[in-house]
Structure 1
Amino acid sequence: MLIVFEGIDGSGKTTLSNRVARELRRAGLRVRHVREDGKLASPVSEGLRLFTKNPRNLALTPMAELLLYAARETQLLEEVTRPALAEYEIVIADRFLYTAEVLARWGRGLPEHEVRPVLDACARGLQPDRVFLIDVDPAIARARRRISKLLAPPQGTSSRKGLAGVGMQARLRAGYRSLAAESPERWSLIENADVPLDTLVTLLVQEVQRLVKGEAPDAAPVRARPVSPIRSLAEARVRFLSRLDGWMKEEPQLAAWFLAGLEGPDIEQRRKLLAGQCPALIAHGLTGLTDASAWDLRRQLEEAAPVQVLGSLKDLAAEDPEAWALRERWETRKQEAIADSLEGLDAERAWTLRERIYFSAAEQVVGSLAGLGGERAWEERGRWLSDMGGEAALGLERVARIACRSIRGVDDERAWEWRERAWEAAPDAVLRSLDRLDSERAWELRERHVARAPRAVLGTMEGLDVPRAWALRESFGVQCEEVLDSFVGMEGATAWKLRLALADTWPAATVKNLGPLAFTPRGRSLIERLLESHPHDFALLRQAVRATQDPTTQELRDASA
């Protein structure tokens, strides 16, 4: 019997499939999981997975990607899955050929008549006995992935698929749900949101045991409860905090993550309650905050999570006297984190500190020069590159990525020479280095590669108010949430037209996009309309709370009383 777990990245399918496999073994069944603990049992398939994941392969076309995904799953089927089906009672797979289909059709836009024949040939008639679609709001899935990366930083680079942005996750989710609706006799939809993990594992184990016995599957999918409309900003805050309180019991790391950047007595109370359980996440969530409570919490957490505390010294917090005192306390122990906290700082105090810690954290020191184009910055870059072996080293991926971070937002001739040399090794990093640049060379590079890496390209356009920027933003239609992140707080007819066109597709990002406009009558009206239309959207609740956290707003003071 073949049992498949499908779902978007961060849905929890890997965790659930592994837990279910263990519980079934405890129940006396012979079980083989072909992706135990997240690693494919076939080395060939694992190698193909790493190849398709590597952003260095930015030029990979949709059809080539489909064939590689199909090859990965076919190798696993032939090498591991089919032999296991002859030996074990139950074979569990974390992903199947459905992943390749959803990515190709809904993710990249390939037509069904081109995709299905390829995958049917790979399957050779094999179909799962049951597919569990682990479904979750992409915002929650994204948070879980980021939590995992923060607590256990991965080796290597980010995923090539991630360059497509948040819109990709939304399209993939829609694709999985469409396949499930087409074959309800084979698929079970399991919502992994407000149901405790142990409860889900028990339900899934019972479902598999019914299948083993030849009994009919449970006809009722696991779904979250319906949500009533939200009528006011005060109600949105109450709803947000209620959801958060549920996670504080069942999934405290998720609760800690979603407190990031928020203010208010009710928020501070929950931060303090979670600080002992999740020190790194609470510290990370203080990024940019400068109120007295935030500094108190940094001092409380610095021994338990020094890297995250130092990492929170961004924006307004970066040059606060408390920030310099914190750096001094950790200078001999956490030089790399201290260097990272100096990003973009051009004060003499920052340069003196860079010089003191250079030999302990050269890469981070050079990375902290982002946005600095003066001669002093180039002398530091030149020293580092010489230590790395000279300009030829820019062809090495690690060196190329550090170099591109260092020249982010720098538009002089030397920066472009570095980009040219680094392109082959780290094209995505080169694109990200174009941050807020408005030169002809920057626009040519963006326009040439925006189809392959929209997230990376749009991430460099923040605040750019020129016709070329608006044309590129409008070219996406409603496909890309990151369009909204590129013109936060901007006024004007074009900005409002685009904001309103994207609002119901990306309600949370639209509220974030308002920035200070959230306090205008037009902004407030838009937030209230979106809350009423999308009460199920937790990310929208959070952005509404964050966008309107103004101590002079009586309505919000009342909500937190």
Structure 2
Amino acid sequence: MLIVFEGIDGSGKTTLSNRVARELRRAGLRVRHVREDGKLASPVSEGLRLFTKNPRNLALTPMAELLLYTARETQLLEEVTRPALAEYEIVIADRFLYTAEVLARWGRGLPEHEVRPVLDACARGLRPDHVFLIDVDPAIARARRRISKLLAPPQGASSRKGLAGVGMQARLRAGYRALAAESPEQWSLIENADVPLDTLVALLVQHVLHLKSGEPLMSLPTRARPAPSIHSLAEARARFLARVDAWMDEEPQLAAWFLSGLEGPDIEERQTRLAGRFPEVIAYGLSGLTDAHAWNLRGQLEEAAPVQVLGSLKELAAETPEAWALRERWETRKPEAVADSLSGLDSEKAWALRERLYFAAAEQVVTSLAGLGSERAWKERGRWLSDMGGEAALGLERVARTACRSIRGLDDARAWDWRERAWEAAPDAVLRTLDGIDGERAWEMREQHVARAPRAVLGTLNGLDHPRAWALRESFGVQCEEALDSFVGLEGATAWKLRTALADTWPAATVKSLGPLLAMTPRGRALIERLLESHPHDFALLRQAARAAADHTQELRNASA
């Protein structure tokens, strides 16, 4: 019997499939998991996975990607899965050819008549006995992935697929749900958001046992009833906090994550409760905050989570007396994190600290020069590049990525020379260096590569109120949430036109795009309230509304003072 687990990244399918395999073995069954602990059993398949994941392969076309994905799964089928089916009672696969189909059709837009023959040729008649579609809100899936990366930072660059942005996850989710709807006898859709992990594992194990014995199938967790409409910011904040409280016991790391960047006594009380259990996540959520509670938490958490506490010294928190005292305490113990916390700072104090840190944390010192185009900054970059072996070293991926982080936002000739030399090794990193640049070369590069890496390109448009910026944002229709993220706080007819067009597809990002000032205008408030009424189930929207509610409360206090 072949059992497949499918779902978007962060849905929990890998965790669930591994837990189910272990429980079935405890029940006395002979079970083979072909992706035990997240690694494909075929070295060839694993190599193909790493190739398709590498953002260095930015130029990969949709059809080439389909062929590589199906090659990966076909190799696994022939080398591991088919032989295992002859030897074991149950074979479990975390992903099948459905992954390639959903990515090609819904993710990249290839027509079914081109995709289907490829998949059929690779499957050669093999069809899973059952597919569990682990379904989850993409915002929750994204949070789980980011928590995982925060607690165990991955080696190397982010995934090439991630360059497509949040819209990709939404399209993939829709694709999986469409396949499940087409074959309800073969697929079971399981909601993985508010069900305890142990409970869900037990239910899935029983479902597999019933499938094997031919008994009637059990009911599994599916989406709850639609949430009632919300009519005010205060009501939205209350519902947001109720959802967070529901996670406090079952998935407290998720609760801690969604409290990030929010303020108010109700938030502070929950952060304090979670700080001792998940110091890294709570510390990460203090980024840029300067209120007394934030500094108290930093003091409590710095021994348990020094890297995240130092990483929170951004924006208004970067050059406060408390920040400098914190850096001084950790200068010799965590030099890399201290150097990272100097990003963009151009004061004499920052330069003196960079000089002391250079030999212990040269890479971080250089990346802290982002946005600094002075001769002093270029001299420091030159020293580092010489230590790396000179300009030829920019063709090495790690050196190229460090160099790109250092020249982010710079538009001078030396920065462009570095971009050209680094392109082959790290094209995605080069694209991110265009942040805020309004020059002709930057626009040409964006327009040339935006189709392949919309997330990276749109992320460089932050705050740009330029006709070419609006053209790029509008070119994606409703496919890219990042278009909204790139004009937070901008007003004007074009901005409001785009907000209105994207509002019901990306309600949370639409509210975020208002910024704190526009959210408090009559037009902004009306838009938020309409979206809350139309999308009361959207947790990301509830979080943005909870932030707006705090801003509104503070505005009322200021007005009455």
TM normalised by structure 2 equals: 0.98
CA contact (8 A) 1:234 1:556 kept: no
**Could you tell me which residue of structure 2 aligns to residue 537 of structure 1?**
538
Separation of aligned partners in 2, 1:467 and 1:274? 46
**Could you tell me which residue of structure 2 aligns to residue 256 of structure 1?**
256
**1:518 and 2:519 are equivalent in the alignment:** yes
CA contact (8 A) 2:520 2:552 kept: no
Q: 1:291 to 1:219 in 2, by over 3 A?
A: closer
Determine what percentage of the aligned residue pairs are the same residue: 85
Question: 1:225: how far off?
Answer: 3.9
Separation of aligned partners in 1, 2:184 and 2:107? 22
Could you tell me which amino acid in structure 1 is paired with residue 379 of structure 2? E
Separation of aligned partners in 2, 1:74 and 1:131? 18
Q: After TM superposition, what 4+ stretches of structure 1 lie above 6 angstroms from structure 2?
A: 554-557
Q: 1:498 to 1:486 in 2, by over 3 A?
A: same
**Could you tell me which residue of structure 2 aligns to residue 152 of structure 1?**
152
Question: 1:313: how far off?
Answer: 0.3
**Could you tell me which residue of structure 1 aligns to residue 495 of structure 2?**
495
Separation of aligned partners in 1, 2:415 and 2:75? 43
**1:297 and 2:297 are equivalent in the alignment:** yes
**1:162 and 2:162 are equivalent in the alignment:** yes
Separation of aligned partners in 2, 1:554 and 1:434? 35
- Where do 5+ consecutive residues of structure 1 fail to align? none
CA contact (8 A) 2:55 2:426 kept: yes
CA contact (8 A) 1:432 1:460 kept: yes
**Per-residue deviation, residues 214-261 of structure 1 (Å, max 9, x unmatched):** 123235653334311111111101100000001011000000000000
Separation of aligned partners in 1, 2:372 and 2:220? 58
CA contact (8 A) 1:6 1:133 kept: yes
**Could you tell me which residue of structure 1 aligns to residue 316 of structure 2?**
316
**Could you tell me which residue of structure 2 aligns to residue 465 of structure 1?**
465
**Could you tell me which residue of structure 1 aligns to residue 411 of structure 2?**
411
**1:482 and 2:509 are equivalent in the alignment:** no
Question: 1:371: how far off?
Answer: 0.3
CA contact (8 A) 2:203 2:220 kept: no
SS in 2 for 1:541: helix
Q: 1:7 to 1:347 in 2, by over 3 A?
A: same
CA contact (8 A) 2:4 2:93 kept: yes
Between 56-65 and 319-328, the greater mean CA deviation after superposition:
319-328
Separation of aligned partners in 1, 2:14 and 2:222? 18
**Could you tell me which residue of structure 2 aligns to residue 110 of structure 1?**
110
Question: 1:396: how far off?
Answer: 0.1
Give the aligned length. Answer: 557
**1:348 and 2:339 are equivalent in the alignment:** no
Separation of aligned partners in 1, 2:103 and 2:95? 12
Could you tell me which amino acid in structure 1 is paired with residue 78 of structure 2? E
Question: 1:551: how far off?
Answer: 6.5
CA contact (8 A) 1:188 1:221 kept: no
Could you tell me which amino acid in structure 2 is paired with residue 549 of structure 1? A
SS in 2 for 1:74: helix
Could you tell me which amino acid in structure 2 is paired with residue 421 of structure 1? R
SS in 2 for 1:132: strand
Separation of aligned partners in 2, 1:556 and 1:278? 32
CA contact (8 A) 1:286 1:294 kept: yes
**Per-residue deviation, residues 478-531 of structure 1 (Å, max 9, x unmatched):** 110000011101010000000110000000000110002001010011111111
**Could you tell me which residue of structure 2 aligns to residue 428 of structure 1?**
428
CA contact (8 A) 1:29 1:90 kept: yes
CA contact (8 A) 1:549 1:556 kept: no
**Could you tell me which residue of structure 2 aligns to residue 443 of structure 1?**
443
Could you tell me which amino acid in structure 2 is paired with residue 536 of structure 1? H
Separation of aligned partners in 2, 1:345 and 1:220? 53
**Could you tell me which residue of structure 2 aligns to residue 13 of structure 1?**
13
Question: 1:555: how far off?
Answer: 8.5
Could you tell me which amino acid in structure 2 is paired with residue 104 of structure 1? A
Separation of aligned partners in 1, 2:220 and 2:64? 39
Question: 1:556: how far off?
Answer: 10
**Could you tell me which residue of structure 1 aligns to residue 278 of structure 2?**
278
Separation of aligned partners in 2, 1:137 and 1:220? 17
**Could you tell me which residue of structure 2 aligns to residue 235 of structure 1?**
235
CA contact (8 A) 2:44 2:75 kept: yes
Separation of aligned partners in 1, 2:546 and 2:518? 14
Question: 1:70: how far off?
Answer: 0.2
RMSD: 1.2
Q: 1:219 to 1:183 in 2, by over 3 A?
A: farther
**Per-residue deviation, residues 175-233 of structure 1 (Å, max 9, x unmatched):** 00000000000000000011111111011001000011012323565333431111111
Separation of aligned partners in 1, 2:361 and 2:471? 41
Q: How does 1:87-236 map to 2 (within 5 A)?
A: 87-218=87-218, 222-236=222-236
SS in 2 for 1:229: coil
Between 539-548 and 403-412, the greater mean CA deviation after superposition:
539-548
CA contact (8 A) 2:237 2:549 kept: no
CA contact (8 A) 2:287 2:311 kept: yes
CA contact (8 A) 1:194 1:224 kept: no
Could you tell me which amino acid in structure 1 is paired with residue 550 of structure 2? Q
SS in 1 for 2:216: coil
CA contact (8 A) 2:233 2:548 kept: no
**Could you tell me which residue of structure 1 aligns to residue 72 of structure 2?**
72
SS in 2 for 1:23: helix
SS in 1 for 2:11: coil
Separation of aligned partners in 1, 2:44 and 2:553? 60
**Could you tell me which residue of structure 2 aligns to residue 528 of structure 1?**
529
**Could you tell me which residue of structure 1 aligns to residue 58 of structure 2?**
58
CA contact (8 A) 1:253 1:278 kept: yes
**Could you tell me which residue of structure 2 aligns to residue 377 of structure 1?**
377
Separation of aligned partners in 2, 1:555 and 1:325? 34
Separation of aligned partners in 2, 1:420 and 1:323? 36
SS in 2 for 1:356: helix
SS in 1 for 2:198: helix
CA contact (8 A) 1:362 1:384 kept: yes
**Could you tell me which residue of structure 1 aligns to residue 84 of structure 2?**
84
SS in 2 for 1:3: strand
